[in-house]
Amino acid sequence: MLSLETMQRHVDALFPGFMGVRLVELAPERVLGELLVRPELCTAGEIMHGGPYMAFADTLGAIGTVINMPKGKRTTTTDSSTKFIGGAKVNTTVTGESVALHRGRTTMVWQTFIRTAEGKLCAVVTQTQLILD
C-alpha cells in the first residue's frame, strides 16, 4: 500500500492539493482527510460552497479505491450522490471519513461523511468507482 506521504505528494499536484486536502489516515476500509475552509472555498454567507464538499469526498473515495485495487488497474468515478445537511464556516476545518461499502473486482462503493470539528454532519457523499484495465 502507498504510504500516506506518497499519496499526499500525489494529490498535492492535483485539484485536491489546489483545494488544500490533507490526508490523515489510509486504511483498506477507511480513508480520513481534512480540509481548511479557506475563504476561496466559500459561497455567500461565509460557509463552504457545495463544490468543495463533493470534490473532497470524490478525492477520498478514489484514494480508497486505489488502495484496494490490483496493480496495473485504473479507476474512474461513474457516479456520485450528495446530500447536503449542514454548513461549515469559513476558517474552520472539516474532516472527511470515507468508508468502503463494497469492494468488488469491477466496482467499489465508498461513502464519505464530512463533519465539522465539533462532529456535526455537513454532507454525505456516496460514489461508485469503476475498476478498469
Binding residues for its own copies, rule: CB under 8 A, are 10, 14-16, 18-19, 40-44, 49-52, 54-56, 58-59, 62, 76-86, 101-102, 104, 106-107, 109, 111, 121, 124, 126, 128, 130, 132
Closest CA to 39 of 19, 56, 24: 19
* Of residues 5 and 44, the one with the C-beta less far from its own copies: 44
Q: What is the closest distance, in whole angstroms, from the C-beta atom of residue 61 to its own copies in the complex? A: 10
Q: What is the closest distance, in whole angstroms, from the C-beta atom of residue 69 to its own copies in the complex? A: 14
Closest CA to 129 of 77, 56, 71: 77
